[in-house]
Structure 1
Amino acid sequence: MDTTRIALKTSAWERVGDALIVACDPTVQIELEDPYGQAEMLLRALSAGPWTLRELQQHLEDEGLPVTIPDLLAAVRALDSLRLLADPSQQSFGYPTEDERYHSNLAFFDLFTSLERSRTELQRRLLGAHVLQLGAGGVGSTVIQHLAGLGVGRLTLLDFDVVEPRNFSRQFLYRTSDIGRSKVQRAAEWVRTFDPRIRVDVVEGQVSGPADVATLLSGVDAVSAGIDHPNTVDDWVNEACMDAGVPFVRGGISGSRLVYFSVDPGHSPCLACARKTNEEIAAGTGIDASASRLSSQLPIVNRAIGPVAGLLGSMVAFELLRYVTRYEEPQAAGTRVFWDATDGLAQRRQPWRADPGCHLCQQARERIASPIKAAA
């Protein structure tokens, strides 16, 4: 902290009685108790920065507010915990091309940064991230576009399908001239054209078991799962990712409900835990049990129109962004997030229980507790 340059993020404030109302975002107002005006003097000083801590102390003393270093440090840390402070030297890359390319990303990250974690650091995490995208269909193709826009440094894309006319209601990465072409090859071409700095690896093939996923996970930071067939494919992804300690995010549509969830190995219950919960419900009695059993008998109908794919793709991309940068904690780990298309897209969350006997979760927790032993 002695050498850190400290300044106030773009803010506005006004006094209301003994309090200061500080706004750093149109929707965020912070109330600071300030009966003697010292907080306002500190904000004015910080807005004239950047300063080192000792320079700030001297400035405040010159302004008539003597303060000790320990007291000033406590005040600075309190403001930093409210995400009001930044080190201006870490606010940009210093290269006009890079700052322009990631301008909006940096502005978004500014809402979540502090003196300890800059917005350029979060963008660098994206630039160094490797995401595996399984499936380049409705949701997957949208996720690919979002990840490319964010600036993820490396993508591995897997699919076996070709572009068909029925895809155009929701897969806007493709063009009519692409009909009959490999989706994954066309998706890779799109990414390379969009941003040549992104490394793209292509795997043309299907997933027929956990091993097919496991072979692709070396160096991968997160997985986006967007394959619908066969029905057991999500379980295979879950097994491979849990074994490797790699988080994955899944988005899709079930009947009238849009849904996405994620699994954070060693921290959230895995998909096998959710399956056991579902089996216990189906084996029971009552309305929930009947609904579960009847749902499994209905045919699967693809109702994923463009807005559905767009919403799910953006939510999956957001969750992947959380995993690879940790700008905030994952929001759907061990939790299904639903939107009901027949109820105005009303949202609800449905966490699932951890199975105490789940060996996949147990192994993941052991890996975190003793990574060297787990690796051996």
Structure 2
Amino acid sequence: MHFDRPVIKKTLPIYRLDNSVFRIGAQLGTTSEFTDPKCEMWDLVQSLDGSEWQTIVKRMKDMHPRLSEEDIEKGLLDLDKLGYIDEMFEDTATAPRYMANATYFSCFPGASTESAAQMQNKLRQSRILLLGLGGGGSNILTLLSGLGIAGVTIVDYDNVEENNLGRQLLYRESDIGRPKVEAAAEALHAMNSEMEIKAINRKIESSEDVSTLIPGNDLVICAVDEPPFLAQRRVNKAIVEANVPCVFGATQMTHGRVFTIVPRKTGCFDCLHLYYTKNDSRFVKQFRGFQSSGFKSPTIAFAPTIWLITSVMVDEAVRLITNYEKPRSLGLQLEIDYPNYTSFPHPAWPRYDECPTCGNGSYDDWEAFKYYGEGV
């Protein structure tokens, strides 16, 4: 018996349907119905009020003399198998503004109020490097303000323009003409004055530009998408060298993609080039054609869909930090279909020893890398 003061999770409603049937839960997939004409399980559930276990046992025996302690313990373990049991824990450390985060974490199987508080505390101790403050990054920063992380380093080189305001909802009309990092830092401070903010006005033009920013941060979120693919390769090389995980995301037309790289554990972005080269005979030809086309996409952005992908990116970051659930995009591309509100994973790609970035290979051995034009 591993519970000292068991309670039903506070997120679960308990309610009767009639004199012999009751339910715990009200959400699809988490609700159980109990047929209990003698009210033994109902009384057990009602007795789980945070009292010590022996007090609960005595209470149950007084109401149901035929039950042994083993019978009562079996009922408790049946409830625990369903994920309904928590240990009484008074959370006095989590600030009120973050309490709802911890309550959400406690909803998941195996989580308790105490472990959820510990997850929120991990966020309170974490620092994130956010690259890019455009359509993705500006909205990511807004979401980060509600997590209670210790600090964020924000990096961009653009000024706020009028055409940003339809999707970059962190900024105001009065910010037009201001550096994005300046306007973003001011807005974030107004939303959450507890977070430390380091604002850097810089254009990312090499992996070295990223490498100098990583120390002191636990995780990177990459919302830089230009030049296409090259920007991700620069960030990828820097995080591999620093051994710091990164969540990447980018919008295409009516779809978006999110992928997460944990150096030495998943394949890196250059491993993905190797994966396609090995598994798709048309990849190199298609990539060469795209890179040589000179195509520059117009801005394709619709605020509601930007929020879809940025929400996924931030949640993936939280999963990495807290482990409340396994990240869905770990070592694979998670495709988000905006019009249909659906998502699906592409095949995961492995880490290759012959990768020139995270392994021991040479860039000259892989044709795809020859079509980048600019250095990483």
TM range (shorter): 0.7 to 0.9
CA distance 1:248–1:161, shift in 2 (3 Å): same
The one-letter code sitting in structure 2 at the alignment partner of 1:28 is T
Deviation for aligned residue 1:5 = 2.7
Aligned to 1:264: 262
Quote the residue 1:55 is aligned against. 55
Residue 192 (structure 1) aligned with residue 207 (structure 2): no
Among 179, 199, 209, which residue is 1:202 paired with? Answer: 199
Kindly tell me the number of residue pairs found equivalent between the two proteins.
Answer: 351
Structure 2: runs of 5 or more not aligned: 361-376
Give the residue type in structure 2 aligned to 1:200: I
Match of 1:111, SS? coil
Contact 1:170/1:309 (<8 A) preserved = yes
Match of 1:129 among 122, 126, 147: 126
Residue 93 of structure 1 is matched in structure 2 by: 92
- Cα distance per residue 1:77-104 (max 9 Å; x no partner): 55445331223434x3378xx32x2243
SS of 1:141's equivalent?
A: helix
Contact 1:273 1:352 in 2 (8 A): no
Decide whether the 8 Å contact of 1:281 with 1:292 is kept in 2: no
Match for 1:58: what amino acid? Answer: K
Q: How far 1:249 sits from its partner (Å)? A: 0.8
The answer to whether 1:339 aligns with 2:341 is no
**SS class of match (1:301):** coil
How far does residue 56 in structure 1 lie from its aligned partner after superposition?
A: 3.1
Deviations 1:310-362 (A, max 9, x none): 11111111111111211111111112122345x53443221332143255556
Name 1:220's counterpart in structure 2.
217
Flag the 1:203–1:123 CA change in 2: closer, same or farther, 3 A: same
Indicate if the aligned counterparts of 1:57 and 1:68 stay in contact, CA closer than 8 A.
Answer: no
What CA RMSD, in Å, does the superposition of the two structures yield over aligned residues? 3.3
- Deviation, structure 1 residue 176: 1.6
Structure 1 unaligned regions, length at least 5: 364-376
1:40 deviation in Å? 4.3
Change in Cα spacing, 1:209 to 1:55, as seen in structure 2 (3 Å) is farther
Question: Residues of 2 paired with 1:217 and 1:77: CA distance?
Answer: 46
Partner SS, residue 89 of structure 1: coil
Contact kept in structure 1, 2:124 and 2:150, CA below 8 Å: yes
- Aligned-partner Cα distance in 1 for 2:274–2:223: 22
Identity of aligned residues (%): 25
1:107 corresponds to 2:103:
yes
CA distance in structure 2 between the aligned counterparts of 1:234 and 1:168, rounded to whole angstroms: 25
Q: TM-score, normalised by structure 2?
A: 0.80
Partner residue in 1 for 2:157: 160
- Worse-matched range after superposition: 151-160 or 137-146: 151-160
2:107 is paired with a residue whose SS is helix
Task: Tell me the equivalent position of 1:12.
Answer: 14
| Post-superposition offset of 1:118 | 3.1
Aligned match of 2:44 = 42
Question: How far, CA to CA, are the matches of 2:301 and 2:113 in structure 1?
Answer: 42
Does the 8 Å CA contact 1:261/1:332 hold for their aligned counterparts? yes
Amino acid at match of 1:173: L
Amino acid at match of 2:7: A
Q: In the TM superposition, what is the alpha-carbon distance from 1:13 to its structure 2 partner?
A: 5.4
Q: Hey, which of these two has a bigger chunk of helix by percent? A: 1
